[in-house]
Amino acid sequence: MYCPFCSYADTRVLESRLTENSLRRRRECPECSNRFTTYETAVFHLTVTKKDGREEDFDIQKIYHSIAKACSKTDPATLMQLTKKIEQKILNKKNHPVKTTDIGRIVLSELKKHDKMAYLRYASVYKSIEDPLLLKKELKAIALG
């Protein structure tokens, strides 16, 4: 890491701290003594295949917003946790690119564990349950449970 102040080729790490999404490092330049902070995050590129066959970059924000819409009563921290869990499942899928229908299925299975109503809302908004009979069955199961 080059010093942003003087371009010196080495910096000293004063402190490392693990945050939720990154590794935060407080650094000092041995040459000019200026201090600055760096954040280390994992970068990965994941492509998803849509129903019509087109490909697009995987965007975790989309997942977050779609589940936020379905889980109206859930606080942002819990939503973030849920999103991370879903993201991990998607990243760990063996076959890439991942199909959006597979992503929908992963989101549904996590929502089902989290909140039955949110699960149904998601399923109806995103038409993730394509079979109307299956949706009916799910609704009935929730009504009974």
**For binding to Zn ion (CB under 5 A), which residues are involved?**
3, 5-6, 8, 29, 31-32
Task: List for the chain the helix, strand, coil content (%; round to 5).
Answer: 45, 20, 35
| Cβ closest to Zn ion, residue 8 vs residue 126 | 8
* Residue 9 tokens, joined: 């080729």
| Cβ closest to Zn ion, residue 12 vs residue 51 | 12
**Dihedral in degrees, nearest 10, Cα atoms 71, 124, 55, 88:** 40
| Cβ closest to Zn ion, residue 29 vs residue 123 | 29
* Residue 15 tokens, joined: 């402190």
Smallest distance from Zn ion to CB 4, Å:
8
Smallest distance from Zn ion to CB 33, Å:
7
Q: How far apart are the first and last CA of the chain?
A: 57
| Cβ closest to Zn ion, residue 5 vs residue 39 | 5
Smallest distance from Zn ion to CB 46, Å:
36
SS3 25: strand
Smallest distance from Zn ion to CB 19, Å:
25
